[in-house]
Amino acid sequence: MDDRNNNTLSPDPEEWAEVPDPDFGADDYFALPDSGVGYYSLEDAALLAALDMWNAGQVLDVPVGEGWPEGDGPRVRKGIEPLQRQLLDALARSVESGLLEAVVRRRTLPDSRPVPGHTFVRLADLEDWLEVHGHMRGPVIEAAAAVFVDNPWQVACAVARDRAELRHPAAPTQPQQHGDNAATLDEVTRLKRELQEARLHVLHLQRQGERRNGAGRRRDDLGARERATLLKLVIGMAIDAYRFDPTAARTTVPKEVAEAFALLPCADDIAVTDDTVRKYLKEAAETVLAKKRS
């Protein structure tokens, strides 16, 4: 029976806490070709490549996690962290220089650099990139299977969950005892699966929170030194290109700038209103130029 129809048992509707379904960031994959099948974020690609190199015997002096198949485990992952960071830096540089094709879903505010967790490369392109750098495909990349589901959203969710499993693999299962009841073993297996699902969900939410906090810190940094520099650029170009007079009571420069932006080929991405231009010209005049006059 549904408890929500029983007034003696159901809580006040306002007390219900809505918990989102664990899609593990499927929105990003849904926006990619083929709903993300065969795509990995730069972070996941670096992890996949590091694990592949270890399993191919190209990473030395990394302890093997006992009982973990494919040479995977907490101690192995701890050991390959330096390699993973090097790979991530190299992948990011290759994307920025155009040597590695990628789909960039998000950029940083201060310098417009691709955000690794929201920049995606195809597995085939990653393999080619690794081959150029001297690594032929190993067993981990070989086993990176595509996901086949009819519904595009289900595909994206399945891909996102697979990437979450790559970042946070389930713990190894203990050997079954001969005396265990089959029904009990089935129940234990089901509970372990649900526990792993909940664990992945919590880790995904933590990851989202860390990214939001990081974005907030970047915005704070931009509000100090970088913001002052950008305001200097704004006021300088306005004075030079549009003969903007900060002391004038009225000016048509904001309208002219907005109309100029609207004519650019990328107008849909960078369109601004004259009110927005006026606001930042005013801020620049009151901060940058005020310092010069004082």
pLDDT digits (tens, 9 = 90+) for 244-257: 898 888 899 999 98
Residue 154 within a domain: yes
Is 127 found in the same domain as 38? yes
The pLDDT of residue 290: 66
Is 229 found in the same domain as 117? no
> At which residue do the structure tokens 């086949």 appear?
148
Is 159 found in the same domain as 23? yes
Is 163 found in the same domain as 22? yes
The whole model's pTM is what? 0.55
223: Cα within 13 Å, side-chain hemisphere: 6
Last residue of a domain, one of 140, 170, 200: 170
The pLDDT of residue 173: 58
Residue 122 within a domain: yes
Q: What percent of the chain has pLDDT over 70?
A: 71
What digits encode the pLDDT tens for the residues 200-209? 777 777 766 7
Residue 9 within a domain: no
Is 40 found in the same domain as 119? yes
Residue 65 within a domain: yes
Residue 211 within a domain: no
Last residue of a domain, one of 129, 148, 170: 170
Which range has the top average pLDDT, 3-17, 59-73, 99-113?
99-113
Residue 205 within a domain: no
Is 255 found in the same domain as 156? no
The pLDDT of residue 198: 75
Is 37 found in the same domain as 158? yes
Last residue of a domain, one of 132, 151, 170: 170
Residue 202 within a domain: no
Which range has the top average pLDDT, 113-117, 152-156, 222-226?
113-117
Is 240 found in the same domain as 147? no
- Sign of the CA dihedral running 47, 53, 58, 63: positive
Cβ atoms 82, 65 nearer than 8 A: no
Range of the domain at 287: 219-293
pLDDT band with cut points at 50, 70 and 90 for residue 127: very high
Is 161 found in the same domain as 229? no
Q: Which residue has the higher pLDDT, 59 or 258?
A: 258
Give me the number of domains the chain comprises: 2
Measure the CA–CA gap between 142 and 210, rounded to whole angstroms. Answer: 31
Is 230 found in the same domain as 157? no
Residue 121 within a domain: yes
Supply the angle between the helices 42-55 and 123-132 in degrees, to the nearest 10: 60
Is 20 found in the same domain as 148? yes
Give bridge partners of residue 114 from the DSSP assignment: 107
The pLDDT of residue 11: 39
Cβ atoms 168, 203 nearer than 8 A: yes
The pLDDT of residue 87: 94
Is 158 found in the same domain as 244? no
Q: Which residue has the higher pLDDT, 242 or 202?
A: 242
pLDDT band with cut points at 50, 70 and 90 for residue 123: very high
Q: Which residue has the higher pLDDT, 106 or 2?
A: 106
